[in-house]
Structure 1
Amino acid sequence: MLLPMSPTSSMFLLGETREHPMHVGGLQLFQPPDGADALDVRAMFEAAVADGDVAPLFSKRARRALTTFGQWGWEPDRSFDLEHHVRFNALPRPGRVLELLALCSRLHSSLLDRHRPLWEMHLIEGLEDGRYATYFKVHHSMVDGVSALRLMQRMLSEDPDERHMPAPWALRSPAPRRADGVDVAQLPGALARGALELAGATPAILRLLNRSLSGHDEVVAAAPKSMFNVPITGARRFAGQSWSIDRIRRISKAGEATLNDTVLAMCSGALRSYLLELGALPDVPLIAMVPVSLHTSESSAEGDGGGNAIGAVLCNLGTHLDDAGERLRTVHASMQRGKESLQGMSQLQILAVSAVAMSPVVLEWLLRAHGRMRPVFNLIISNVPGPHSQLYWNGARLDGVYPLSVPIDGQALNITCTSYADELAFGLTGCRRTVPHLQRLLTFLDDELAALERATGVA
């Protein structure tokens, strides 16, 4: 049976080409339990592959058919081959984090096979400190960042002594009753209700456009052209690092801002320093698109844990300002305006308003017409909340979670953050040809964190 895919999810399939892979990924670092090593972990993975147990989310593939009026839909893969999806890799000596990031950069550059379910799991051995890593890769049509983290949490436990836990792809979740949140049997009624909700969004869309034309919002074609806003290739470069959440929270409290505001301000200062070093800083501020999760606590308990539910806010990063404190205040004020514009709307209405704001970018992307308009925004910066406590898989301690995301044509850099336990991990994913010396951005992020501490008096 072919179940219809939501327009948001199908967009990631429609826009994908060899030069523009549309999958997200995650790098996880594990410390083997006492008395075990990476070879023991490999044996557990091999046993799980031999078992062949697979959750419905991981055994469905994308296909078009007349029953979905030529649109993309999901169907079970009758020839599912688990060994194709679970891979084993070893790092070259000396097995440093540098070699690990280089491997993830290469793995993240290749397309997923559309004839099969759109995911891969790589077990990576050979780290010099005795740890092992997993790199999980899944198409954005299947899950967004919030869904991916929730899936990860389902496979892990807070109990270091728990054993016989399922493999990541064998999640014990309820059988899916929905397709991307829409019950097929109730599709006509859902469409009618959706039409009414969209009609209710019209005043909000008109207000948004009026604010834009009046210059009171970031939703204007005012983002400067930058080195990031050019055609890109399919090769990727990845860099990641974690910082203490407590340090970021103290800045947020002292600066009367949110934690996400402080994250954006860190990115603002780091991007300013990076572009200054390359002689490529625009005179006007960069604009970031900040995804807003529309998932609810109910949605996390329903279905198979997949799907996409994302709105968007545009944020003035204040990269033209010299002072770190001024950049934080600029970011905070911009995000406040963006959030206020979405207040009182339903999930569907927020999606509609976000679609209006993003429409020039989406049209350029789908029509392969980059460069004919000024960019609406310069890059995407996401902050995805993750687990608050220390987690384990069959006694192996999860030491870190680093997100890999999707640069798109005209958006050569993506910054995604993920919280885990007491740390916040930054994952930088860029076009390998377009964004040089990506690792330097990590140094500048560290510098900007210290600058914000001084600016807010918490140093």
Structure 2
Amino acid sequence: MVTPIDPTSAAFLLAENRQMPMHVGALQLFRKPEGAGRGYVREFFEEMRDADEIAPLFLKHPYRAARTAGQLVWRPDEQFDIEHHVRHSALPKPGRVRELLELCSRLHSTRLGWERPLWEAHVIEGMRDGRVAMYTKTHHALVDGVSAMRLIQSVLSTDPDKRGMPAPWAYLPERTRAPREREPSETQASLSELSGQALRTALGITAEAAGLPGALIRTLRKSVRNETSSLSLYAPRTILNQSITGSRRFAAQDWPMERIRGVGKATGTTVNDVVVAMCSGALRAYLLEMHALPEESLVAMVPVGLKARESQIASADGGNAVGAIMVQMGTERADPADRLAAIHRSMVDGKEALSSMTPVQILAMSALGQAPAILTPMLRMQGIVRPPYNVIISNVPGPRTTHYWNGAQLVGTYPLSIPINGMALNITCTSYDGDMCFGLTGCRRTVPHLQRLLTHLDDELKALEKAAGI
């Protein structure tokens, strides 16, 4: 059955090129169950591959021809080959995390072909500590990053003895809702879709959209004064904001949530504030090494969730709204405590500005803030105009307890995201089982030695702890 592709998904497909593959990914690490034999990884792979029936989401691919009047549609793959999508790989010796991240970097660099369903999964063996890795990637036209992570987590269990668990792409009758139906959570959503959400909502609710001019004027006033809002006019030019290549570098590491919460508790700040402060200090140190630190503060685009004020809109969101604020990162400040305080003030100011708006206005203002990031690379104007922000920093809540897949314990989960032209670095974090897992995805050429940022993140957390008196 052929179905039309909605405008938001079509935009991701049409925006893609060799330099900008538009898929999201995830790296998961599993510890083998007790008594696992030498052939365990092969068995793990075969359980993933041999799904009895594949969910419709994973069977369709984009198609456009004269018979569709040039319109992009989803068409079922009549020659679906599960072995093309689920693959078994092995690391070269010595099988360190370094080799694993290098493999994930290469896998994340290649585009997904339109002639097949837009997803892949790679079961990876050969880690010298005995763990099993799985890298998955899915086109953003199918699911956003948050939905992709939740889809993978949906087949996990807190019971280490449970067996017979399905692969994420297996069809289950009880899954009545398609995973691709993107829905903003209370704390996170895909910001690249804000413009589509705002447009669809505003077209249907003209009375609510009538309040947009006032919200726009307030947003512009704050932006002109260089105050935090959903629109930035003062982001400096940096080496991160250039044209990119299609080659990717991925770096990942986790830190105990207890340490991050400890800094927040001692300083009266939030976990998200501390995460942004870690990134701020790490980017400051990295750019100093590269002799490329601008005098002005870097600006981060940070998705936030908040309760919007009472609205007359009948919404399934229950009054929750997700938006983007452009946070002053304080990278011009040498003291880590000063940076954290500046970030906290900026985050509070931005949330207060958005909390005075309705959900439609929040979406519209956030989409307005995204427009320069989208239009600049399309018009080939990067380097000519200032970037709307310098880096994206997202924090996606994950499971708080230990999870398993057929007895294999999930010990780490790390997101891979989408750098775009003019925005060569994306930092996405997800919490899992007492840890905050950082995934850094960047252009291999534009952001050289990306892995050094992991050392700088660790150094900055230690510096924040010292400044907080911990």
Query: TM-score under structure 1 normalisation?
Result: 0.89
CA change 1:333–1:443 in 2 (3 A) is same
The answer to whether the 8 Å contact 1:317/1:331 transfers is yes
Q: Secondary structure at the match of 1:158?
A: coil
CA change 1:179–1:75 in 2 (3 A) is farther
CA change 1:117–1:314 in 2 (3 A) is same
The answer to whether the 8 Å contact 1:402/1:427 transfers is yes
The structure 2 residue matched to 1:256, chosen from 257, 268, 273, is 268
Q: Could you tell me how far apart the structure 2 residues matched to 1:199 and 1:54 are? A: 45
Give the aligned partner of residue 306 of structure 1. none
Q: Could you tell me how far apart the structure 2 residues matched to 1:420 and 1:101 are? A: 19
Give the aligned partner of residue 304 of structure 1. none
Aligned partner of 1:223: which letter?
A
Question: How far has the Cα of 1:79 moved from its partner?
Answer: 3.2
CA change 1:193–1:395 in 2 (3 A) is same
Give the aligned partner of residue 202 of structure 1. 213
CA change 1:310–1:43 in 2 (3 A) is farther
Q: Could you tell me how far apart the structure 1 residues matched to 2:68 and 2:209 are? A: 22
Aligned partner of 1:317: which letter?
M
CA change 1:230–1:392 in 2 (3 A) is same
Question: How far has the Cα of 1:205 moved from its partner?
Answer: 2.2
The answer to whether the 8 Å contact 2:424/2:446 transfers is yes
Aligned partner of 1:174: which letter?
R
Aligned ranges 1:181-220 → 2 under 5 Å: 193-217=204-228, 219-220=231-232
The answer to whether the 8 Å contact 1:155/1:171 transfers is no
1:267 aligns with 2:279: yes
Question: How far has the Cα of 1:178 moved from its partner?
Answer: 9.7
CA change 1:179–1:26 in 2 (3 A) is closer
Give the aligned partner of residue 447 of structure 2. 435
Give unmatched runs, 5+ long, in structure 1: 183-188, 301-308
Q: Secondary structure at the match of 1:168?
A: coil
Q: Could you tell me how far apart the structure 1 residues matched to 2:124 and 2:82 are? A: 17
Q: Could you tell me how far apart the structure 2 residues matched to 1:346 and 1:71 are? A: 34
Question: How far has the Cα of 1:142 moved from its partner?
Answer: 2.0
The structure 1 residue matched to 2:334, chosen from 317, 322, 325, is 322
Give the aligned partner of residue 82 of structure 1. 82
1:447 aligns with 2:459: yes
Give the aligned partner of residue 353 of structure 2. 341
Give the aligned partner of residue 351 of structure 1. 363
Give the aligned partner of residue 291 of structure 2. 279
Give the aligned partner of residue 164 of structure 2. 164
Give the aligned partner of residue 110 of structure 1. 110
Could you list the per-position Cα deviations for residues 47-102 of structure 1 after superposition, in whole angstroms to 9, with x for gaps in the alignment? 44234421222223234579998664444333322221111111111111111011
Give the aligned partner of residue 311 of structure 2. none
Give the aligned partner of residue 175 of structure 2. 174
The answer to whether the 8 Å contact 1:14/1:366 transfers is no
Q: Could you tell me how far apart the structure 1 residues matched to 2:347 and 2:254 are? A: 24
CA change 1:383–1:37 in 2 (3 A) is farther
Could you list the per-position Cα deviations for residues 389-441 of structure 1 after superposition, in whole angstroms to 9, with x for gaps in the alignment? 10000000001011111111111111111110010111111111111111111
The answer to whether the 8 Å contact 1:146/1:385 transfers is no
The structure 2 residue matched to 1:388, chosen from 381, 386, 400, is 400
Q: Secondary structure at the match of 2:303?
A: strand
Could you list the per-position Cα deviations for residues 271-297 of structure 1 after superposition, in whole angstroms to 9, with x for gaps in the alignment? 1111111111100000011134699xx
Give the aligned partner of residue 31 of structure 2. 31
Count of aligned pairs between the two proteins = 443
1:243 aligns with 2:243: no
Q: Could you tell me how far apart the structure 1 residues matched to 2:41 and 2:170 are? A: 16
Aligned ranges 1:142-157 → 2 under 5 Å: 142-157=142-157
Q: Which is worse superposed, 166-175 or 371-380? A: 166-175
Q: Secondary structure at the match of 1:327?
A: helix
Q: Could you tell me how far apart the structure 2 residues matched to 1:358 and 1:429 are? A: 19
The answer to whether the 8 Å contact 1:38/1:131 transfers is no
The answer to whether the 8 Å contact 2:228/2:347 transfers is no
Question: How far has the Cα of 1:324 moved from its partner?
Answer: 0.5
The answer to whether the 8 Å contact 1:156/1:393 transfers is yes
The answer to whether the 8 Å contact 1:2/1:67 transfers is no
CA change 1:73–1:344 in 2 (3 A) is farther
Q: Could you tell me how far apart the structure 2 residues matched to 1:76 and 1:299 are? A: 30
CA change 1:367–1:64 in 2 (3 A) is farther
Could you list the per-position Cα deviations for residues 116-160 of structure 1 after superposition, in whole angstroms to 9, with x for gaps in the alignment? 221110000111111110001111222222212211221100000
Aligned partner of 1:259: which letter?
V
CA change 1:157–1:81 in 2 (3 A) is same
Q: Could you tell me how far apart the structure 1 residues matched to 2:305 and 2:9 are? A: 14
Identity of aligned residues (%): 55
Q: Secondary structure at the match of 1:155?
A: coil
Q: Could you tell me how far apart the structure 1 residues matched to 2:66 and 2:326 are? A: 38
Q: Which is worse superposed, 400-409 or 212-221? A: 212-221
CA change 1:40–1:415 in 2 (3 A) is same
CA change 1:117–1:158 in 2 (3 A) is same
Give the aligned partner of residue 303 of structure 1. none
Q: Secondary structure at the match of 1:251?
A: helix
The answer to whether the 8 Å contact 1:233/1:431 transfers is yes
CA change 1:76–1:191 in 2 (3 A) is farther
Q: Which is worse superposed, 221-230 or 338-347? A: 338-347
Give unmatched runs, 5+ long, in structure 2: 184-199, 308-314
Aligned partner of 1:21: which letter?
P
What value does the CA root-mean-square deviation take over the aligned residues?
Answer: 2.8
Aligned partner of 2:10: which letter?
S
Aligned partner of 1:43: which letter?
E
